[in-house]
Amino acid sequence: MKTLSIYVHIPFCVKKCNYCDFLSGVADGQKQEEYMQALLKEIEAESVKYKDYSVISVYIGGGTPSVVLPERIRDVMETVKAFYRLEEDAEISIEVNPGTVDKEALSVYRAAGINRLSIGLQSADNRELRLLGRVHTYEDFLQTYKYAWEAGFTNINIDIMSALPGQTLEDYGETLKRMLTLRPRPSHFSAYGLIVEEGTPFYELYGREKAQLVKTGEEQEHLPSEEEERKMYELTRQIFQTAGYQRYEISNYSYPGRECRHNLVYWKRGNYAGFGLGASSLVENTRFRNVSILKEYLERDCKIAEETCLSQKEQMEEFMFLGLRMIQGVQKEVFEKEFGIAMDEVYGKVLEENVKQGLLTDGASVALTDRGLDVANYVMAQFLL
């Protein structure tokens, strides 16, 4: 039987963070209720397309899904269970932020079948959290983490960020070290460098003028240099790998066997169906995306805004571009089996040049070297034909 992953988007949050360009925002209880009812109807209605699929993962993301009533999260899970073939050992994740969830809500999630949490910490430094526009403190995170274990969650991811305005290597190292003092330890970490995105408050302060600084009160905090950012990147690898975590993707570390199954589906171009505002899907090499305007989503019977059947060229590009994010890289045998042509015939010159520069390995698998990981975007862009 074919497999499928499900993504459920809940676009609400307490407050928009200063760096966030996700499709999310603040809404009152009535609007949240209207949205959740429309979301449940969409999940049910679309199920007829997936009768021949077995669901191996569900990911409830946002926004901050934990801002809606926990009973609505339970309703989502009950709808999925009722209308889809959910595997017994399916990975079922939900994103939560400290300060937006309590032990009772976490217990509702656990009883509904959710078995993995992703907690958005970002930093263990309260000054940095204020700068980011987060609504919680590090102490709030510690309480949420305690509640999560008490509610029965043993598979927990922590999100952290580096290259923040005014952040030194020592500051970032302190956040990493604090993560290793958690007991029990998390099974997974996602460690991302800050990207200043257009349309965010950070872009207004930094990106538009290319001024290399962010203003906070009377102070002006410089963003770390590329060299400082690279050192933070390397420090992440050193500290987590020494502690027994394996780096299995550019920005993700886990204990063996605790890799995020849902994200692996994305990077390996498996089938996934997205439900909710602006949610994207890839099913049998067709990409489609839902409408991204809330009013339209609530009023339209058909939620899909655009649909594209990928050409073989586009499929090959995605295979390389996404697959090289994984530390194990991509296998030549799998490429040839999927596309009916050898990888070397399509990308021979690109492979040869990057191997010569020490950026890629060569053999049965092609993967980024340590040097290649430092310039991953540059390498991967070369596979766009």
Token pair 């009768």 is found at 51
Using DSSP, state whether 264 is helix, strand or coil. Answer: helix
Please count the other Cβ atoms lying within 10 Å of the Cβ belonging to residue 311.
10
Please give the pLDDT value at position 22: 73
- If you write DSSP's letter for every residue of 201-221 in order, what string do you get? HHIIIIITTT-SEEEETTEEE
22's enclosing H/E stretch is: none
What is the pLDDT confidence band of residue 196, given thresholds at 50, 70 and 90?
confident
Instruction: Report in angstroms the alpha-carbon separations of 120 from 77, 125, 156.
Output: 22, 14, 11
Please give the pLDDT value at position 214: 44
Please give the pLDDT value at position 203: 75
Please give the pLDDT value at position 215: 46
Instruction: Report in angstroms the alpha-carbon separations of 163 from 132, 179, 194, 212, 254.
Output: 12, 17, 6, 12, 22
Please give the pLDDT value at position 221: 66
Average pLDDT over residues 313-342: 97
Please give the pLDDT value at position 198: 78
Beta bridge pairs of residue 94:
60, 117
Q: What is the token pair recorded at 70? A: 């926990």
149 vs 12: CA distance, rounded Å: 25
pLDDT at 197 over 90: no
Instruction: Report in angstroms the alpha-carbon separations of 121 from 129, 136, 149.
Output: 9, 9, 16
277 vs 56: CA distance, rounded Å: 22
The residue among 53, 71, 114 whose CA lies nearest residue 273 is: 53
Strands 286-290 and 304-309: antiparallel
What is the pLDDT confidence band of residue 218, given thresholds at 50, 70 and 90?
very low
> Do 334 and 365 meet the contact criterion of CB atoms below 8 Å apart?
no
DSSP letter (8 states) at residue 358: T
% residues pLDDT > 90 (the chain): 83
What is the pLDDT confidence band of residue 163, given thresholds at 50, 70 and 90?
very high
CA dihedral 258, 262, 267, 269 (to 10 degrees): 140
pLDDT at 4 over 70: yes
Please give the pLDDT value at position 210: 42
Average pLDDT over residues 37-56: 97
What is the pLDDT confidence band of residue 168, given thresholds at 50, 70 and 90?
very high
